[in-house]
Amino acid sequence: MPKNKFWKTTPLSQLNEGQWEALCDGCGKCCVLKLEDADTGVVHHTDVSCRLLDCQTARCTKYDERKKHVPDCVLLTPDNLSMLSWMPKSCAYRLIHENKDLPDWHPLVTGNLDSTRLAGHSVAARVITETNVDEDDLPNHITNW
């Protein structure tokens, strides 16, 4: 367990790049395709991932250049977190933004980078890539993470 629990003492807007990146628990839930109900505005998550996500590890294969390959990929910042209501309720960025603590399975708490998967909170090995799914079939892939 890290001695410096920076997420408890440093505002999101003041985190350095390493701290910001360390907040990500690696679940991959933000990288699954979502469908918004036009009538209600409710966002539904699917078990279909962005084509850049490695479906076995839930890690982006082109993380540093993801915007170049997927122009509508959302880059999280302290300024846009409040607008991203579709972020998973377990997302560390969302939790800290909402003045909540990290879950006990988060890698920063456990010291184990694989703890998110081990605790069942990762999409690793539970999603298929969008290149294998017809867009019209997406409603058949709605799931609750």
- Give residue 4's pLDDT: 82
**Among candidates 20, 7, 5, 34, which has minimal Cα distance to 127?**
34
Let me know if residue 71 belongs to a domain: yes
| Cα–Cα distance for residue pair 108/126, rounded to 1 Å | 23
Q: Whole domain around residue 55: which residue ranges?
A: 6-141
Let me know if residue 10 belongs to a domain: yes
Q: How many domains does the chain have?
A: 1
pLDDT of 2 above 80: no
Let me know if residue 65 belongs to a domain: yes
| Helix (H) or strand (E) run with residue 28 in it | none
**Among candidates 82, 104, 101, 80, which has minimal Cα distance to 92?**
101
Let me know if residue 119 belongs to a domain: yes
Q: What is the mean pLDDT of residues 18-24?
A: 96
The pLDDT tens digits for 50-95 are 999 999 999 999 999 999 999 999 999 999 998 988 999 999 999 9
Let me know if residue 1 belongs to a domain: no
